[in-house]
Chain A
Amino acid sequence: MSDSPATRGAGARWLRSSHVRFIGLILALELLFGGALMLSITQLVRADLDAADRAIATEARDTLLSIAREEGDAALLSAVTARMDDDEDGVVLLVTAQGQRIAGNLAAWPPNIAATGPWMKASLYRIGDAAPVQFGIAAARLPGGRRLLVGDQTDASDQIRETVEGALLTALLLALPLAIVGAWLAVNIIDRRIAKIAATAAGVGAGDIGRRVPLDGSGDSFDTLGRAINAMLDRIGGLLAELRAVTDSMAHDLRSPLTRMRARIDRAKETDDPAALRAAIEGVSREAEALLAMLTSALEISRMEAGIGHDRLTRTDLGAMLVDLGELYEPLVEEQGRALTVSITAPVSAPVHRELLGQALSNLIDNALKYGAGVMTLSLGTDAGVAVISLSDEGPGIAPAREAEALRRFGRLDSARGIAGAGLGLSLVAAVARMHGGMLRFVRRGDRFAVEILIASGD
C-alpha cells in the first residue's frame, strides 16, 4: 500500500474515496433530475392558470364591448358602473380619447398598458386601495377613440402556483436524504462483496494457500470474479504442491550422492598415498558430474512442465531424425556387442522441440544400453493419426507393477541402483512426450519390450 504524500491532507484522501464519489454522484443526479422535473411542472401549471385568468378578463371585456356595440354608450356606462359596484375583485376603466376618466375604479389609464395590447398582468392601485393589487388585464379601443380596460384579480392563481412550487421543492429536499441513504446502502452491498474477496486475497498473501473466495452461485460479476480468482489460486496451489514435491524429492535424492562425496573427501584427508588421493579426487569428480547432470535434467523437466519452450516447436522430419540418431549410436551399440536397427514404417513430420526430443530419445537408447539386452530397434510409425516413436529390445523391460515407480522423478528401480545414473531418464522422456501433447507408454510384444513416445503429428 502506498502512503499518500504528506502534502495531500486527509480531506483530499477522503474526497478520492470511491464511496464519497459514488454518493456525490447520486446526489448530483437526483438534484439535476428533480430540478428539471420541478421546473417543467411549474411552467405547465403557470401556463394553465394564466390561460384561465386570460379567459376571465377577455370574456368580461368582450361582454362590455358587445353591450357598447349593441345597446349604445349609455348601456355601456351603466354596465361599467355596475361591474365596478358588483365585482370587488375586478378593475374597470373607461376613458375618453384624451385619456380622461369617464367611469371606472382607476384614477387614470396606466401608462404601461396599451389599448390594443394582448392580455397582461399588472399591479394597479384602484381608487380607495392602500396597496397595489395584481390583475390580469384585457383592454380595447372603442369607436371614437375611447379606451376600455377590464381586469380581474389573479391572487387565487398565484396562491395555487405557490402551493404547487412549495410542494415540489419540499419533495425534492425530502428526496435528498433518501438518495443519500440509498447510495450508502448500495455502496455497502458492493463493499461487503469486495471485502470477502479482499479478505481471501489477504489470507492467501499471508500464507493461507488453501483459502478460497466464498461463492453464492448467482453468476453475477462478483461471483464471476470470485470464480476466476479461485481458479487462479487453484493453479498456484497446484504449482506450489508440485514445487514442494520436486524440492522434497530433490533434497532427499541429492543428499545421498553428497553424503557419499563427503565420505570420500573425509577418507582422502586421512591418507598420504598419492594413488589413493588421485582415486579419491576422480571419484569426487564423477559424483559431481552425476549431480550436475541430475540437476540439469530436473530443471529441464520442471521448465517443460511449466510450459516453457513451447514456442520452439518446429516441424521436423521425424524419420530423418531417427536415422541420424541411429547413426550416432550405432558404433557404440556395436562396440557393446549388440545391434541397433532403425525402421521407418511411415514418413511422419511433426512440430517438435528438436533438442528436447533428441535428448529424450538418447535417454531411451542409453537406458536400453544399460539395462536391456539383445537387438535394439528404433522405429517410427503412426497409430490413429498419432506419431509413434518406439525403442524396443529383447531385455526384461520394466515389470508392469513397477512402471509408475520407473516414471517417478529420481525414481530408480532396485535392480538399477548399482548402475550409474540419476534416475531422471524416463521421467524426462515422459515430460518431453507430455510437452508435445503426447504420452509415454510401455508395450510388451512377445519377448520384446518397447518404450513408446506418442506425439500428435499436428496435421
Chain B
Amino acid sequence: MGRKILLVEDDRTTADFILKGLAEHGHVGDHSGNGRDGLFLAIDGGYDAIILDRMLPGMDGLAILGALRAAGVETPVILLSALGSVDDRVTGLTAGSDDYLVKPFAFAELLARLELLMRRRGHGTVVETVLACGSLRMDLLRREVRRDERTIDLQPREFRLLEYLLRHAGQVVTRTMLLEGVWDYHFDPGTNVIDVHISRLRRKIDTDIDVPLIQTVRGAGYRLGE
C-alpha cells in the first residue's frame, strides 16, 4: 500500500538515494531541497510521514519541526542528522520528532522506522490483551505464550522481545529498533548482541516446526510472519 511521504533534504545524492528507495517500495515521495518550501509543503500537503534533514540551508530542521508542531501538524517526523552524539539525539527527540536517524544510515533502517511510525499512527490507542501471528499466541494478561497447543517458557526479556516482534508483525524491525524498543538502549553495544537473543528466541519458538515465524531480512533486521 503506497504512502505519501515528504522528504526535506538539501543533499542531492542522499535525496536521490532515499527517493529511489521509497519508489521501489511503492511509496510516493515528494522532495524539497530547502526548509522554506519544505515547511510550506508539510503544512499543506497531507503527508503520511515527513523525513526532515536537521541541517538545511536557510532554515534549521529543528526550527521547521517547531513551526510544524506549532501549526498543529501532527504528521510523524523522522529527523536525519549527521550530528550523531547522544545529546544531539536527545535534543532532536525532545524537539518533537518521532524518531532520529544518524547519517549515514542503511535505507532498510529508514524504511523500517518509517513504516513503524505510520502504522503507529493508524492504530490508535486500542488496548490489546492477546497478540497473535500465525499459530503463535501471546496472552499479555496471563503472560503466557503458546505455539499451536504447546506452551512456551520464556525469560522476562525474551517475553518482551517477542511482544515487540508481535506488535510489529509483518514489519521489518532493525537491530537498533529492538535495542531501543526492548532494552531502551540508545547507544551502540556492538554488532551481534541482538542476533544472539533472536537466535535463542527462535530456538524456543520455531524448533520442530515447518513454518518458521522469525525471518531474517538480509541487510536490515528481522520480520515476524509466515
Contact = CB atoms under 8 A, between A and B. Distances in A.
A300 B85 contact: yes
B187 A356 contact: yes
A335 B196 contact: yes
B118 to A, nearest CB: 27
B183 interface: yes
Contacts of B90: 312
B193 interface: yes
Contacts of A355: 86, 185-187
A335 B186 CA distance: 24
Interface in A329-359: 329, 331-332, 335, 353, 355-356, 358-359
A332 B196 contact: yes
A238 interface: no
A309 B193 contact: no
B86 A300 contact: yes
Nearest to A302: B85
A328 B198 CA distance: 11
A248 B176 CA distance: 32
Q: For B84, B190, B200, which residue has the most chain A Cβ atoms within 10 angstroms? A: B190
Contact of B87 (A292, A303, A324, A359): A303
B104 interface: yes
Nearest to A370: B190
A329 B85 CA distance: 23
B189 A356 contact: no
Contacts of A328: 183, 185, 189, 193, 197
Nearest to B183: A328
A382 interface: no
Interface residues of B, number: 19
Interface in A152-194: none
A292 B188 CA distance: 12
A366 B188 CA distance: 11
Given A292-B104, A308-B87, A332 B187 contact: no
Given A292-B104, A324-B183, A327-B157, A309 B86 contact: yes
Contacts of B188: 293, 359, 362
Contacts of A335: 196
Nearest to B193: A332
A367 to B, nearest CB: 10
Interface string A285-320: 000000011001001100100001100100000000
A67 B100 CA distance: 121
Interface in B200-225: 200
A309 B87 contact: yes
Contacts of B157: 327
A303 B183 CA distance: 25
Nearest to A369: B190
B203 to A, nearest CB: 11
Contacts of A309: 85-87
A328 B84 CA distance: 23
B197 A331 contact: yes
A303 B188 CA distance: 17
Contact of B84 (A296, A312, A331, A332): A296
Contacts of B196: 331-332, 335
Interface in A352-398: 353, 355-356, 358-359, 362, 366
B181 to A, nearest CB: 14
B129 interface: no
B85 A303 contact: yes
A331 B200 contact: yes
Nearest to B189: A362
A299 B85 contact: yes
Contacts of A327: 157
A171 to B, nearest CB: 69
Nearest to B195: A332
A362 B190 contact: yes
Interface string A254-289: 000000000000000000000000000000000000
Contacts of A296: 84-85
B187 A358 contact: yes
B13 interface: no
B125 interface: no
Interface in B158-206: 183, 185-190, 192-193, 196-197, 200
Given A296-B85, A358-B189, 14 more contacts: A300-B85, A300-B86, A308-B85, A312-B87, A312-B90, A328-B183, A328-B197, A329-B189, A332-B196, A355-B186, A355-B187, A356-B86, A358-B185, A359-B86
18 contacts: A293-B188, A296-B85, A299-B84, A300-B85, A300-B86, A308-B87, A324-B183, A329-B189, A329-B193, A331-B196, A331-B197, A331-B200, A335-B196, A355-B86, A355-B187, A358-B185, A359-B86, A366-B190
Interface of A: 292-293, 296, 299-300, 303, 308-309, 312, 324, 327-329, 331-332, 335, 353, 355-356, 358-359, 362, 366
